[in-house]
Structure 1
């Protein structure tokens, strides 16, 4: 009986080992942005050591940036051999790459514990946390969870400039299933805007179906996200990546021969074009004058945030949050923290606006509030606010109001702006009040 139990146990162990060697790597998805979640799964810490070999030649793709734009700086950042980087990209060791140029970086990938990784050292800069290091500096070739896992006891809040940390880069070795069909290398590719599984595969001459299998994705329509990487299975080492050249301009047809009297015909054409152009210009001027008078008749409203184009009207919450939307909220909270926006509690905004009372209502979904003794404009928005947050933090203008913080409550976002005490910018451009306050054309052009 004991011998039968021992045989069964050994059979089960052999089956499990065989399954692990043949299994592929799961695509991590949006979990990489949830830096505050202590419940980390294997997928965010790295690719599982399930390949035929414990170590292998692997490849990373890195997009050249101002601080890392030559063979030496990129090789040092990713702990690669500069001569290998130069050779595979067909450049000299002193070469400089243009911004956002894709650079192939060979690395020796090996198992460390349960995960494949290539370790590199990095000195923390001022104001950097694990999220920015993983997704900005290393371009999603690592994750904030994996980096923090390498620094036990040091949270992102305890990071200080000058601290030397270990960054595990995401790499992997082929499984038995992959080697059986001729796959010899795996390339880690950080996903960028406009990328698709089909396009990434074709860029490196890979079979899209093999790419799906390598990342355990169901089909080519599967969603892939920023701040994540994709494994690309290759039969041969990758070659230098070149962006497709734009098509050459179409040649202009030769000018026709001028018939007799052509000079006279051209004169009439010039006259006709001049008349039509004058009529068009007059029409445009009339439309501008009409629009200005129409806007002038509108009732002057209370002061609101910088521009009415940013207004959003309150929408009812249609359904409760599911796991996907919660992932999105966590992702947006991490992004807000990474660009130094204050994360407010909903109770703070209730106190600031007297529970969003009608006396503090400005217009649409905008309310006046007092936070730490300063006036603020608080706008309630339902849905994706990422584009508005990114726009308001990238654009600076003396007549635009700064976004200072955000809050999320029951599916609604609350954006906290500086308070525009003098009213909306559009009112100053188009309206003239009783005191004659408005922006002249000179003011608008100089603004």
Structure 2
């Protein structure tokens, strides 16, 4: 009896475990995968080979237990390469008229705004590999890689892991050839039985955009954020990334309006005009106003005169203090009182920074004697470049810059910013008409010196260069979108990028003296100026020619820095190589990568010649597909038309994706082309 009860209990436990875990092949949710750039690893546990087939449900758009397909919707963005619904339909293997109907368009050939989001009706099927997908056919062009196809051309609707497994049969990624027809499995899924029972009819494959959050997406689609999180096996607070997909469980057909972010709130209504009074018999009023004006003018004149006398007295006291300290504080090792001590410091700083009443609460106000002591009397041995000296305060290194210009605007910006990739201002000092700015110290100097001068330091590896580029882009993205008010740097160059950290070098942006406030929203923010500054070779054409200041000017300058990072050449050398056009070689290579050349081996050879040869000495991998993506990104950043450049957020996205790219090293790729008969010549 006890034995039979034991068997019954064991059978019951097995049934419970079976029901809790689900039947083989059944899955009520799909995993969210974010490692889309790690192409050599399949990451199948996070669904990057495809969403797993479930046991089916029933009703609406969900499959029943006897069906392995369902109607669903994908999302996509219009691009210059795919500017209308007809082109998008051709790429994704969809019906153009169905796209037009789903997006309330009169004609599928009507041009769409760049970046416009569209809904793509599709039939999703469970394949023999037990993945849900919809297949599209794509013809590879020269310069294509699996990552470029999945994340650039198809915008993340597929993954490089899935394309390699299904299109190449797990053959090496370098076996992809121009002209080859590639089956691209598009990510889609059908509702599970549990989801269908809860009324879910469709799982929309949603392409994640920059700054997207689960809660905001849920609000647009009118669904519960918890349901989205559950459908993607994630928490509501988890970070979601561009070039990945989310499944949105909806109970009715989605509408294209749900893809758009809600408009900003309307501006407040204008203030009501002051009530008017009877215009008759104004003589007495005019006499009263005149008498009041005379009285006010007399009071103001008296106040101004008193303030002027006080200011002259303060300046005399300050000048006397400077004179008293001038002969004693030069070497910085004297115990005499330094210039501008006590009340004089506040008076001097307040006069220079009339809008910074709390300057001493946010920055340390140094005395000249403190700076002189920390720099050994501004010894030439402490000079690290230009007018910047290395100082040591209580064992901690800092940089002290001596400047003769007005620094009020620069200090105003630097005291407000707080970002890992922007140089932090520690304090300041004013002495004998000069300003001394004390900031954090970057022990590896400027990017320009590291790339061009060397100075005995080892060359930067490919991964280090991508990391520095990403750091600068993230710092600029913070300036453009997260400071209040937003700023444009306007002097981005390899000399304004400092290198800090240990073995893992990090980039930090400096030189905020030319930064400008911008007004407006998003990519439309701009201002105008007649005071053109900046560094030759890095300034955007619209700024030089018309004084237009916008975030796209920083994108242009960063594109030049990216070009220097990749080639190891300065602007002057690039101009000499291109007969006055620093972008000549890059544009030619970008054209080949976009299908201008059918000779893959020749394109690879030109890519190798384009790279900084010093990288070969680092022994690090330099993936061909990453170089191709970087070249294409630079070409977009330095376009003459500012509207055609990407935003800084998009630049940061691409660099983040590049940072995660791994794959064949450069020389193994060349060996493949030569061993396959692509090039019989000697290795350059």
| Same topology, TM > 0.5 | yes
Counterpart in the other structure of 2:27? 23
Q: What is the CA-CA distance between 1:403 and the residue it aligns to? A: 11
1:162-241 alignment, distance < 5 Å:
162-217=179-234, 219-241=235-257
Q: What is the CA-CA distance between 1:158 and the residue it aligns to? A: 4.0
Counterpart in the other structure of 1:248? 266
The SS at the match of 1:45 is coil
Check 1:77–1:427 CA distance in 2 against 1; reply closer, same or farther (3 A cut): closer
- Structure possessing the higher relative contact order (Cα contacts under 8 Å, 6 or more residues apart): 1
Separation (CA, whole Å) in 1 of partners of 2:169 and 2:385: 50
Separation (CA, whole Å) in 2 of partners of 1:224 and 1:216: 12
Check 1:130–1:263 CA distance in 2 against 1; reply closer, same or farther (3 A cut): farther
Q: Does 1:98 align with 2:180?
A: no
Q: Does 1:35 align with 2:52?
A: no
Q: Does 1:413 align with 2:413?
A: no
Separation (CA, whole Å) in 1 of partners of 2:143 and 2:293: 67
Counterpart in the other structure of 1:302? 384
Structure 1 residues 186-228: Cα deviation after superposition (integer angstroms, max 9, x where no partner): 11111122222222122122233322221122x4223323332
Counterpart in the other structure of 2:78? 64
Counterpart in the other structure of 2:443? 365
Q: Does 1:144 align with 2:160?
A: yes
Counterpart in the other structure of 2:49? 45
Counterpart in the other structure of 2:151? 135
Counterpart in the other structure of 2:454? 375
Q: Which has the higher strand share?
A: 1
Bigger Rg, structure 1 or 2: 2
Q: What is the CA-CA distance between 1:444 and the residue it aligns to? A: 4.8
Separation (CA, whole Å) in 1 of partners of 2:142 and 2:476: 19
Separation (CA, whole Å) in 1 of partners of 2:144 and 2:489: 23
Structure 1 residues 113-156: Cα deviation after superposition (integer angstroms, max 9, x where no partner): 21011111223344332223222222221111111112135534
Q: Which has the higher helix share?
A: 2
Q: What is the CA-CA distance between 1:302 and the residue it aligns to? A: 2.7
Q: Give yes or no for contact 1:29–1:224 (8 Å, CA) kept in 2.
A: no
Separation (CA, whole Å) in 2 of partners of 1:84 and 1:191: 23
The SS at the match of 1:238 is coil
Q: Tell me how many residue pairs correspond in the alignment.
A: 352
Counterpart in the other structure of 2:352? 287
Check 1:30–1:258 CA distance in 2 against 1; reply closer, same or farther (3 A cut): same
- Tell me the C-alpha RMSD between the 2 structures: 5.1
**Which of 98, 107, 111 is matched with 2:122 structurally?**
107
The SS at the match of 1:413 is coil
Name the stretch that deviates more: 226-235 or 257-266.
257-266
Q: Give yes or no for contact 1:192–1:226 (8 Å, CA) kept in 2.
A: yes
Separation (CA, whole Å) in 2 of partners of 1:238 and 1:250: 33
Counterpart in the other structure of 2:99? 85
Instruction: List alignment gaps of at least 5 residues for structure 2.
Output: 1-10, 57-66, 278-284, 312-347, 354-364, 391-395, 398-440, 478-487, 515-530, 540-684
The SS at the match of 1:77 is helix
Q: What is the CA-CA distance between 1:426 and the residue it aligns to? A: 5.3
Separation (CA, whole Å) in 1 of partners of 2:154 and 2:269: 44
Q: What is the CA-CA distance between 1:56 and the residue it aligns to? A: 1.1
What's the TM-score once normalised by structure 1's chain length? 0.62
Instruction: List alignment gaps of at least 5 residues for structure 1.
Output: 1-7, 315-362, 418-423, 430-440
Check 1:444–1:199 CA distance in 2 against 1; reply closer, same or farther (3 A cut): closer
Counterpart in the other structure of 2:605? none
Q: Give yes or no for contact 2:146–2:163 (8 Å, CA) kept in 1.
A: yes
Name the stretch that deviates more: 249-258 or 130-139.
249-258
Structure 1 residues 351-398: Cα deviation after superposition (integer angstroms, max 9, x where no partner): xxxxxxxxxxxx6330699999962777999xx867415469999989
Q: Give yes or no for contact 2:77–2:118 (8 Å, CA) kept in 1.
A: yes
Check 1:253–1:32 CA distance in 2 against 1; reply closer, same or farther (3 A cut): same
Check 1:374–1:140 CA distance in 2 against 1; reply closer, same or farther (3 A cut): same
The SS at the match of 2:246 is strand
Q: Give yes or no for contact 1:42–1:48 (8 Å, CA) kept in 2.
A: no
1:348-363 alignment, distance < 5 Å:
none
Separation (CA, whole Å) in 2 of partners of 1:111 and 1:214: 18
Q: What is the CA-CA distance between 1:38 and the residue it aligns to? A: 5.4
1:298-447 alignment, distance < 5 Å:
299=378, 301-303=383-385, 364-366=442-444, 375=454, 387-388=470-471, 390=473, 400-401=493-494, 413-414=504-505, 444=534
